[in-house]
Structure 1
Amino acid sequence: MILPPFVGALGFQQILGYYGVINTILVNCGMERVNFLTGNGRFWSICLIEALHLYPILYLNLVSSLGNIDPAMRDAARNMGAGFFRRLFCITLPMIRPGILAGGSLVLIWSFTELGTPLMFGYNRTTAVQIFNGLTELKSNPEPFALVLVMLVISTIMYLLAKLLLRSDSVSSSKGTAGTSADQLTGVKKYLPTLFFALITFLAALPHLALIFTSFSLRWHSTVLPENWTLLNYENALSHPLVVPGIINSLQYSGLAMLFALVIGTLIAFITKRWKMPGGWILDAIAMLPVAVPGIVVAFGYLGMAVEFSWAKEMFNPMENPVWLLSIAYAVRRLPYVLRSVSAGLEQTPLEYEEAARTFGATPFQTVRKIVFPMIGANLLVGALFAFSFSMLEVSDSLILAQKSQHFPITRAIFELSQILASGPYTACAFGVWTMIFLGASIAAAGILLGKRLGSIFRL
Structure 2
Amino acid sequence: MSKLLSLLIFLGMTAFFACFFAYPIWAALEAAFRGPDHRLTLEYVSEVFLNELYREGLWNSFIIAVWTTLGALCVALPLAVCYVRFTFPGRALLNSLLLMPMILPPFVGAIGIKSLLGQAGALNSLLISLGMMDAMHPTDWLGQQRMLGIILMEVLHLYPIIYLNAAAALSNLDPALEEAAANMGCDAWSRFWRVTLPLIMPGVFAGGTIVFVWSFTEMGVPLLFDYDRVTAVQVFRSINDLSGNPFPYALVAVMLVFSTLFYLVSRLLFGSANAGGGGRATTAREAAPLPAGLGWVCTALFASVTFLAVLPHMGVVLLSFSKDWYGTVLPHSLTLQHYHDALGHELTLSSIANSLKYSALAMLVALVLGIGVAYVSVRTRIWGRQLLDAMAMLPLAVPGIVMAFGYLAMTREGRPFHWLMLGEDPLMLLVIAYAVRRLPYVVRSAAAGFQQVSPALEEAAQNLGARPEKALWRVTLPLVAPNLVAGGLLAFSFAMLEVSDSMILAQQSTYFPITKAIYSLVLALGSGPNLASALGVWAMLFLAVTILGAGVILGKKLGTLFRG
Q: TM-score range by the shorter chain?
A: over 0.9
Structure-1 separation of matches of 2:381 and 2:191: 39
Mapped pair 1:293 → 2:398: yes
Moved more, 169-178 or 243-252: 169-178
Query: For residue 243 of structure 1, what is the aligned residue in structure 2?
Result: 348
Contact 1:5/1:53 (8 A) holds in 2? yes
- Out of 96, 103, 123, the residue aligned to residue 227 of structure 2 is 123
Deviations 1:377-421 (A, max 9, x none): 222111111111111111111111111111111111111111111
Query: For residue 390 of structure 1, what is the aligned residue in structure 2?
Result: 494
Structure 1 residues 63 and 364: alpha-carbon distance in aligned structure 2, compared to 1, 3 A threshold = farther
Structure 1 residues 327 and 353: alpha-carbon distance in aligned structure 2, compared to 1, 3 A threshold = same
Structure 1 residue 165: Cα displacement: 4.1
Structure-2 separation of matches of 1:320 and 1:399: 14
Structure 1 residues 363 and 96: alpha-carbon distance in aligned structure 2, compared to 1, 3 A threshold = farther
Query: For residue 46 of structure 2, what is the aligned residue in structure 1?
Result: none
Query: For residue 108 of structure 1, what is the aligned residue in structure 2?
Result: 212
Amino acid at match of 2:294: K
Moved more, 316-325 or 167-176: 167-176
Mapped pair 1:16 → 2:120: no
Amino acid at match of 1:100: V
Structure-2 separation of matches of 1:11 and 1:59: 25
Structure-1 separation of matches of 2:376 and 2:560: 19
Contact 1:246/1:409 (8 A) holds in 2? yes
Structure 1 residue 365: Cα displacement: 2.2
Moved more, 381-390 or 315-324: 315-324
Moved more, 411-420 or 367-376: 367-376
Structure-2 separation of matches of 1:87 and 1:377: 45
Structure-1 separation of matches of 2:162 and 2:508: 37
Structure 1 residues 82 and 68: alpha-carbon distance in aligned structure 2, compared to 1, 3 A threshold = same
Moved more, 150-159 or 322-331: 150-159
Coordinate RMSD, CA, aligned: 2.3
Mapped pair 1:186 → 2:291: yes
SS of the residue 1:162 aligns to: helix
Structure 1 residues 185 and 80: alpha-carbon distance in aligned structure 2, compared to 1, 3 A threshold = farther
Mapped pair 1:448 → 2:552: yes
Structure-2 separation of matches of 1:96 and 1:384: 32
Amino acid at match of 2:368: V
Deviations 1:201-232 (A, max 9, x none): 11011011111111000111111111111111
Mapped pair 1:402 → 2:510: no
Structure 1 residues 94 and 367: alpha-carbon distance in aligned structure 2, compared to 1, 3 A threshold = farther
Structure 1 residue 310: Cα displacement: 5.8
Mapped pair 1:56 → 2:157: no
Amino acid at match of 1:5: P
Structure-1 separation of matches of 2:347 and 2:109: 20
Structure 1 residue 140: Cα displacement: 2.5
SS of the residue 2:540 aligns to: helix
Amino acid at match of 1:25: L
Structure-2 separation of matches of 1:287 and 1:152: 18
Query: For residue 81 of structure 2, what is the aligned residue in structure 1?
Result: none
Query: For residue 249 of structure 2, what is the aligned residue in structure 1?
Result: 145
Mapped pair 1:307 → 2:418: no
Contact 1:8/1:211 (8 A) holds in 2? yes
Moved more, 342-351 or 325-334: 342-351
Structure-1 separation of matches of 2:526 and 2:189: 54
Contact 1:16/1:23 (8 A) holds in 2? yes
Query: For residue 96 of structure 1, what is the aligned residue in structure 2?
Result: 200
Mapped pair 1:217 → 2:322: yes
Query: For residue 2 of structure 1, what is the aligned residue in structure 2?
Result: 103
Deviations 1:2-61 (A, max 9, x none): 22211111000011111111111222232242211124x101101111111112222233
Structure 1 residues 51 and 230: alpha-carbon distance in aligned structure 2, compared to 1, 3 A threshold = same
Deviations 1:89-137 (A, max 9, x none): 4554345333322222111111111111111111011111111111111
SS of the residue 2:323 aligns to: strand
* 1:145-184 equivalences in 2 (<5 Å): 145-171=249-275, 172-174=278-280, 181-184=286-289
Query: For residue 305 of structure 2, what is the aligned residue in structure 1?
Result: 200
Contact 1:74/1:181 (8 A) holds in 2? no
Amino acid at match of 1:123: Y
Structure 1 residue 271: Cα displacement: 1.9
Moved more, 329-338 or 274-283: 274-283
Moved more, 120-129 or 266-275: 266-275
Report % sequence identity: 50
Structure 1 residue 74: Cα displacement: 5.3
Q: Could you tell me which runs of 5 or more consecutive residues in structure 2 were left unpaired when the two chains were aligned.
A: 1-101
Contact 1:318/1:325 (8 A) holds in 2? no
Structure-2 separation of matches of 1:88 and 1:348: 35
Aligned residue pairs total: 457
Q: Could you tell me which runs of 5 or more consecutive residues in structure 1 were left unpaired when the two chains were aligned.
A: none
Structure 1 residues 194 and 238: alpha-carbon distance in aligned structure 2, compared to 1, 3 A threshold = same
SS of the residue 2:561 aligns to: helix
Amino acid at match of 1:21: A
Structure 1 residue 144: Cα displacement: 0.4
Structure 1 residue 451: Cα displacement: 2.2
Structure 1 residue 198: Cα displacement: 1.5
Structure 1 residues 295 and 12: alpha-carbon distance in aligned structure 2, compared to 1, 3 A threshold = same
